[in-house]
Amino acid sequence: MTNRIREHYFHEVARRLFTLRGAPFFLSGREMEVLEEWEAKGIPLAVVLEGIGVGYEAFRRRKGRRRRLLLTFCHPYVRAAFAQYRDRRVGRKSTPKESIDKIPEIRRQVEAFLAALPAPVSDLKEIYLRVLEELNRESLDDLCLEDLDAEIESTLYKKATTEDRRRLVDLIAQEYAVSDAWETERLARVKWVKSMRHKYKIPHVSPFYY
């Protein structure tokens, strides 16, 4: 895709999601990865929007705790819509590792992080303690862990000063041919969060990463 078409693709998906769920009006790092995956696989915009619509209806019917609609929740519905769009290739099935099987590794990563919690990110302690509480529940709630990962990213991005953000915008301008302010801010956020996670060895808590 050209940059202009790509920006339109991202804008339309984000606009549809925000219309359905309301605030917060930003995409988490994991949501951006899902969106980039759809774009990289060449899933047509109309198919993505169709899948999000189906996912939203399924989300509304969910029993138990409900928070906010995430693109990650819509991911399987978009894939299903794309499979139908391509008339699904016979015999191509994958068996992803069940989220429940990933709990021990997520817990190990979280406990190791808390045991050596770096002072500059000590304010993440409360969030990671909530992660452990969630992992100890009788049934795993992927959406809750997605929310907590998004909260971690928001906390990290708030640490970026005005000077940091200006520097990031300059870097984005050098690395990408982006003219859209929303896209520039998104890339700056992703770059900052990734650098902070790497610098302080901050683990993800979403099962997707394990």
172 backbone φψ class: left, alpha, beta (φ>0; ψ -120 to 50): alpha
CA distances from 61 to 57, 58, 118, 140 (A): 7, 5, 41, 18
Task: Give domain status of residue 45, yes or no.
Answer: yes
Spatial separation of the C-alpha atoms in residues 23 and 76, rounded to whole Å: 23
The answer on 116 and 43 residing in a single domain is: no
Q: 98-139 pLDDT, tens per residue?
A: 677 889 999 999 999 999 999 999 999 999 999 999 999 877
**The pair of three-digit structure tokens given for residue 131, joined into one six-digit string:** 């992660």
- 37's CB contacts (< 8 A; 6+ apart) are none
Task: Give domain status of residue 174, yes or no.
Answer: yes
Q: What is the mean pLDDT of the chain?
A: 84
Domains held by the chain: number: 2
Task: Give domain status of residue 177, yes or no.
Answer: yes
The answer on 190 and 131 residing in a single domain is: yes
Q: 147-162 pLDDT, tens per residue?
A: 788 889 889 999 999 9
Spatial separation of the C-alpha atoms in residues 40 and 156, rounded to whole Å: 27
From 35, 51, 85, the end of a domain falls on: 85
Q: 70-96 pLDDT, tens per residue?
A: 898 899 889 888 887 775 444 444 444
Task: Give domain status of residue 94, yes or no.
Answer: no
| Boundaries of domain holding 128 | 99-204
From 32, 60, 85, the end of a domain falls on: 85
Task: Give domain status of residue 57, yes or no.
Answer: yes
Give the pLDDT band of residue 65 (cuts 50, 70, 90).
low
**The pair of three-digit structure tokens given for residue 190, joined into one six-digit string:** 């992703």
Q: 50-61 pLDDT, tens per residue?
A: 899 888 888 888
**The pair of three-digit structure tokens given for residue 137, joined into one six-digit string:** 């529940």
Percent residues over pLDDT 70 in the chain: 88
The answer on 112 and 78 residing in a single domain is: no
Instruction: Please say if the pLDDT value at position 97 is more than 60.
Output: no
pLDDT of residue 90: 44
Spatial separation of the C-alpha atoms in residues 18 and 37, rounded to whole Å: 19
Q: List the Cα angle 70/108/68 in 5-degree steps.
A: 15
From 53, 85, 117, the end of a domain falls on: 85
pTM to 2 decimals? 0.61
The answer on 76 and 113 residing in a single domain is: no
Task: Give domain status of residue 38, yes or no.
Answer: yes
**The pair of three-digit structure tokens given for residue 168, joined into one six-digit string:** 């990031």
